[in-house]
């Protein structure tokens, strides 16, 4: 397998955590993986994106130019990245924040209201996990069980009490996405 | 019979290569006496500057290194933080400390590094041939201020000790001179205090020494002593500038 | 069994330093290496080490100078503009033969440039960088694993040769996360008994560590001594990875991040039937001259790829000595090399 993914949205939407968790899950599956974040002049509310490459072989460039998958959380990101998607690529769109219909032949578009689903669960910050759940189901890189296990182990690493309370809602968000 | 005076252990049996009438030799001697009196020679690390005292390691009989121009406070920080039980001091001239090394001394002082700084202010760059220093007086003729220092061109004599004295990290700063026996004795007392502070982990201590440079000032050795009294001290008054132990 | 952990390149350098017994770190904020400084700020106090955020890169390297004098393993890190400021201190360390590790997570230049990964500092790193006749060992990691491994190696070499060692990385490898294997060793943190350190002259003659040598021919003699050391390093420490060079008609030469794109291009080219191989220098100084020279005799041509206007190519040409054609493809200013672009260049050369 060879998967090149870009995840993009606003800073604060959990873009980096989403990508890092996926990279961690891929590592736990024994795959090679790279994660590369956008970085720079720090700004809350600015755009954020990260690139994840997953492969059985040694990975060359971590800088994805033409992704095989895109997870898009807001409109500016859709405008910026949708044209770069490969043929037969997968495009997951947060339909809670992006109204535009994408009409492009040869790609698979899944519109999921991830922000609304997250709000129903009680915290719109877990929209990232909803989207990741959808992605994992579509790509089959890991099972839902492994994903939940990985999520728990990562959140437990952050040894603050409040993080532990976040496990439950993140787990539910992952499940909701997976079963959407 | 009681021995009242001898050659300090902390000085090597070498002849100073300084010009006649220069103040460095006196200050080296005072330092050596203080280090002997505290019996810290074997745990002292000195940092020589770039300037006339660059060869201090030829004279000091303890571990010595030589830092890049202006950087002794940073080098001292590196040494002292790793070896907090050793005695670390820097010996810096006015060009080294107040010009090229202004940032390093400011921040070492502000961090309250537990080091001792001996700051030789002779209002001139001696080693490179007598250029204007940040401490050069208004109207003072140097190689690079041939018509005398002008404030509108080069700013004012820098009272860096007073500036450093504003910092909360500083424990003790005193300005002394070595132009007559009375002042030399006071200078020794101040240097002794600056080392005592370090031994007692009190933090940053600096002694500014107004010191003679007859060659740089183009005067005789005797005139240089008077020059300190008449020209330098009115601009750089002697005395304690900051002493935390007094204020509490 | 070795643990496999997902870690950022910058953090992996920090972890390598900790595992190597680094006891004193001095840094100053600059993107894209800030995570490393933050890592050291967090870990050093826990292991009883020294961390100081210095007032400048100049102060930081001089604090390294001071810490190194005491015999502990010590490090500083920065990115390109900050490394320019450190050159004074590196020259003094080379002169005083003080070990220490300097990390450069390169960004685009010249000037303030940008904050993207770049390879514009090759000349500065491999030519000494500061004033005077000296060399620093330069190691170039191309993966997060090597960020860890080569940091460990840099501390070993710094001590072995009493020399500053530079880890020449870049913003891409610094910022990316990758799984690495690492052993948790029992780390030796005590000051090693070195016969040149300054720690007070108890029970011995006073020592001096200095770099001003004004005596007649004194400095020349000292420079020749340093040269002997540099010769030993050249004889013993050259490292390079050879990839598919046995039957190659064209060989790519690339280091660091560019070598990742290079390797991918080699794989793709082979799928298309082109016989391409790659040499990846791991030590940039000493440069693998003989390896490059020997392979130059067997191939039709060489393609040097760099994320710069072409700097390492000069070392390649010196090593090739005209035995074969040397081509270049590069992009400066923090732009990333694309595999397709490299393939286009390879096709152009092979026709």
Domain span at B58: 24-247
CB contacts of B107 in chain C (<8 Å) are 54-55, 59
CB contacts of B83 in chain C (<8 Å) are 70, 199
Subunits adjacent to chain C (3 or more Cβ pairs under 8 Å): A, B
Determine the residue of chain C that is closest to A54 in CA distance: C178
Contacts (Cβ under 8 Å, ≥6 apart) of C206: B60, B61, B62, B63, B64
Q: What CATH number is attached to the domain comprising B112? A: 3.40.50.970
Task: Calculate the alpha carbon distances from C306 to A52, A133, B10, C150 in Å.
Answer: 23, 39, 56, 20
Residue B101 belongs to some domain of the structure:
yes
Give the residue among B194, B70, B212, B90 at the shortest CA–CA distance from B134.
Answer: B70
From A35, A58, A61, residue closest to C261, measured CB to CB: A61
Q: What CATH number is attached to the domain comprising A155? A: 3.40.920.10
Residue B137 belongs to some domain of the structure:
yes
How far apart CA C121 and CA C86 sit, in angstroms, is 13
Average pLDDT of chain A to the nearest whole number: 91
Number of domains present in the structure of chain B: 1
Residue A104 has a pLDDT of 77
Residue B15 belongs to some domain of the structure:
no
Give the residue among A50, A45, A37, A53 at the shortest CA–CA distance from A3.
Answer: A53
- Tell me the DSSP string of C213-267: --STTHHHHHHHHHHHHHHHHHHH---EEEES-TT-SEEEE--HHHHHHHHHHHH
How far apart CA B79 and CA B198 sit, in angstroms, is 14
What's the CATH fold of domain C240-350? Rossmann fold (3.40.50)
**Domain regions of chain C by residue span:** 3-200+224-236, 240-350
From C175, C263, C265, residue closest to A37, measured CB to CB: C175
From C115, C265, C338, residue closest to A40, measured CB to CB: C115
Residue B17 belongs to some domain of the structure:
no
How far apart CA B151 and CA B234 sit, in angstroms, is 17
The two tokens of residue B138 are 């208004």
Residues forming a β-bridge with A34:
A53
How far apart CA B121 and CA B134 sit, in angstroms, is 10
pLDDT tens digits, chain C, 351 residues: what are they? 567 899 999 999 999 999 999 999 999 999 999 999 999 999 999 999 999 999 999 999 999 999 999 999 999 999 999 999 999 999 999 999 999 999 999 999 999 999 999 999 999 999 989 999 999 999 999 999 999 999 999 999 999 999 999 999 999 999 999 999 987 777 776 666 789 999 999 999 999 999 999 999 999 999 999 999 999 999 999 999 999 999 999 999 999 999 999 999 999 999 999 999 999 999 999 999 999 999 999 999 999 999 999 999 999 999 999 999 999 999 999 999 999 999 999 999 998
Contacts (Cβ under 8 Å, ≥6 apart) of C277: C242, C243, C244, C245, C246, C247, C248, C250, C251, C252, C266, C299
How far apart CA C62 and CA C60 sit, in angstroms, is 5
Chain A contact for C29 (CB, 8 A cutoff) = no
User: Which of A 119-158 lie inside 8 A of C, CB atoms?
Assistant: none
Segment B161-178, tens digit of pLDDT: 999 999 999 999 999 999
ipTM of the complex in this document: 0.95
Look-up: residue for tokens 């020794």?
B188
Give the residue among B122, B233, B82, B101 at the shortest CA–CA distance from B164.
Answer: B101
Number of domains present in the structure of chain A: 1
pTM: 0.95
How far apart CA B127 and CA A122 sit, in angstroms, is 73
**Helix (DSSP H) and strand (DSSP E) numbers for chain A:** 6, 6
Does chain B touch chain A (at least 3 C-beta pairs within 8 Å)?
Answer: no
CATH, domain C3-200+224-236, list 2.40.10.10, 2.30.30.40, 2.60.40.1170, 3.40.50.970 = 3.40.50.970
Segment C19-69, tens digit of pLDDT: 999 999 999 999 999 999 999 999 999 999 999 999 999 999 999 999 999
């Amino acid at each position: 397998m060879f998967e090149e993914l870009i995840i993009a949205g606003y800073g604060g939407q959990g873009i980096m955590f989403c990508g890092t968790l996926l990279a961690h899950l891929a590592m736990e599956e024994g795959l090679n993986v790279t994660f590369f974040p956008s970085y720079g002049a720090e700004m809350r509310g600015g755009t954020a994106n990260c690139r994840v490459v997953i492969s059985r072989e040694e990975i060359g460039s971590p800088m994805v130019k033409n992704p095989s998958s895109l997870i898009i959380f807001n409109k500016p990101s859709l405008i910026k990245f949708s044209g770069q998607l490969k043929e037969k690529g997968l495009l997951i769109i947060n339909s809670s924040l992006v109204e535009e219909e994408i009409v492009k032949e040869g790609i698979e578009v899944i519109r999921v209201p991830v922000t609304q689903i997250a709000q129903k669960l009680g915290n719109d910050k877990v929209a990232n996990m909803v989207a990741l759940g959808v992605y994992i189901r579509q790509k089959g890189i890991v099972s839902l069980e492994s994903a939940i296990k990985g999520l728990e182990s990562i959140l437990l690493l952050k040894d603050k009490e409040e993080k532990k309370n976040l496990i439950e809602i993140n787990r539910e968000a992952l499940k909701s996405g997976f079963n959407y | 019979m009681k021995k009242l005076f001898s050659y300090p252990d902390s000085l090597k049996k070498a002849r100073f290569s300084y010009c006649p009438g220069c103040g460095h030799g006196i200050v080296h001697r005072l330092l050596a006496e203080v280090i002997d009196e505290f019996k810290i020679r074997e745990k002292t690390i000195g940092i020589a500057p770039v300037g006339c005292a660059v060869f201090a390691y030829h004279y000091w009989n303890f571990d010595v290194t030589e830092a890049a121009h202006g950087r002794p406070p940073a080098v001292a920080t590196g040494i002292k933080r790793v070896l907090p039980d050793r005695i670390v001091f820097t010996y810096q001239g006015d060009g080294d400390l107040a010009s090229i090394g202004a940032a390093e001394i400011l921040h070492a002082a502000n961090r309250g590094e537990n080091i001792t700084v001996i700051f030789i202010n002779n209002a001139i760059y001696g080693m490179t041939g007598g250029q204007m220093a940040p401490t050069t007086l208004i109207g003072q003729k140097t190689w690079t201020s041939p018509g005398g220092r002008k404030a509108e061109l080069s700013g004012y004599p820098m009272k860096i000790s007073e500036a450093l004295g504003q910092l909360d990290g500083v424990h003790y700063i005193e300005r002394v001179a070595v132009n007559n026996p009375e002042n030399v004795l006071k200078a020794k007392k101040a240097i002794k205090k600056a080392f005592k502070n370090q031994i007692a982990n009190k933090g940053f201590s600096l002694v500014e020494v107004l010191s003679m440079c007859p060659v740089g000032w183009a005067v005789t050795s005797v005139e240089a002593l008077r020059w300190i009294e008449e020209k330098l001290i009115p601009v750089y008054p002697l005395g304690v500038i900051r002493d935390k132990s007094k204020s509490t | 069994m070795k643990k496999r952990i997902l870690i950022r390149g910058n953090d992996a350098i920090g972890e390598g330093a900790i595992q190597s017994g680094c006891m004193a770190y001095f840094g100053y904020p600059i993107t894209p290496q800030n995570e490393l400084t933050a890592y050291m700020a967090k870990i050093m106090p826990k292991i009883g080490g020294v961390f100081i955020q210095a007032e400048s890169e100049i102060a930081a390297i001089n604090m390294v100078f001071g810490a190194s004098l005491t015999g502990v393993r010590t490090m500083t890190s920065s990115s390109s503009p900050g490394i320019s400021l450190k050159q004074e201190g590196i020259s003094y360390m080379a002169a005083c033969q003080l070990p220490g590790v300097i990390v450069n997570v390169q960004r685009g230049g010249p000037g303030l440039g940008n904050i993207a990964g770049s390879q514009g500092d090759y000349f500065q790193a491999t030519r000494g960088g500061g004033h005077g006749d000296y060399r620093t060992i330069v190691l170039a990691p191309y993966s997060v694993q090597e960020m860890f491994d080569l940091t460990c190696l840099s501390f070993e070499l710094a001590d072995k040769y009493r020399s500053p060692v530079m880890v020449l990385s870049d913003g891409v490898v610094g910022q990316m996360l990758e799984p690495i294997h690492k052993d948790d060793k029992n780390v030796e943190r005590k000051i090693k008994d070195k016969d040149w350190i300054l720690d007070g002259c108890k029970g011995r003659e006073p020592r001096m560590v200095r770099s001003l040598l004004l005596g007649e021919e004194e400095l020349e003699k000292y420079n020749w001594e340093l040269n002997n050391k540099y010769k030993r390093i050249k004889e013993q420490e050259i490292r390079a990875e050879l990839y598919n060079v046995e039957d190659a008609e064209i060989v790519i030469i690339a280091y660091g991040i560019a070598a990742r794109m290079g390797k991918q291009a080699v794989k793709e080219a082979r799928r298309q039937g082109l016989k391409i191989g790659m040499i990846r220098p791991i030590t940039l100084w000493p440069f693998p001259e003989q390896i490059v020279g020997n392979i130059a005799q067997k191939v039709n041509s060489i393609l040097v790829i760099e994320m710069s206007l072409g700097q390492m190519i000069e070392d390649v040409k010196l090593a090739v000595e005209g035995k074969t054609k040397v081509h270049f493809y590069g992009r400066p200013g923090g732009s990333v090399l694309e595999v397709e672009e490299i393939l286009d260049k390879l096709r152009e050369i092979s026709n």
